[in-house]
Amino acid sequence: MIGKIIVLDANILIRAALGIKVRDLITDYAPFIRFITPDVAWIDAHTYVPALLQKRGISHSANLTLNLLETLVDTLEPAHYGEYKTVALKRIAQRDADDWPILASAMALNCPIWTEDLDFFGTGIATWTTDRVHLYFDEPGHIHSPQPEPGQ
């Protein structure tokens, strides 16, 4: 049973595509944690991952890795987080206004954000970094009420 939800920042998707630790956390916890990211985070990942792989001289297919992740991480469309744009921008605009969809998604779903981006700290939403996110995943007793499926 999936009882917890967390919004993934684009940098987490990118780390999952490039490395093992984040990808393993997502695959290991997918049966128990609902991973969600806004549509724009996928656009960022598909934009940056191939260039980063080429720069690093890594030959495996980024598209295969991203396709795997897309089976484990639900996409949240603007219809579900757009109403939080104004308040999200007020909280994050001085740091990085482009991150508002991540913050708005977490606000819409009433859940934390998994990120390595310090811009989310102090926005009023709990944030977890990769080295500590397992603590949130393993924490007993905190069950979210069911949320609508993305795209409904």
Judge whether 120 and 99 are in contact, CB under 8 Å: yes
In the chain, where the domains are located: 4-138
**pLDDT digit string, tens, across residues 48-78:** 888 887 787 776 666 677 888 999 999 999 9
Closest to 45 measured CA to CA, from 21, 23, 26, 17: 17
Residue 35 has a pLDDT of 98
Q: 34-53 in b/e burial notation, b at 16+ Cβ within 10 A?
A: bbbbbebbbebbbebbeeeb
Closest to 99 measured CA to CA, from 115, 79, 76: 115
Q: What is the CATH number of domain 4-138?
A: 3.40.50.1010
Strands, E, within 1-152: which ranges? 4-8, 33-38, 73-76, 113-114, 127-128
Neighbours of 143 (CB within 10 A): 10
d(Cα 115, Cα 119) in Å, to the nearest integer?
Answer: 9
From first CA to last CA, the distance across the chain in angstroms is 21
Judge whether 10 and 49 are in contact, CB under 8 Å: no
Higher-confidence residue of 80 and 57: namely 80
Residue 149 has a pLDDT of 43
Percent residues over pLDDT 70 in the chain:
87
Please give the model's pTM, rounded to 2 decimal places: 0.86
Amino acid at 82: G
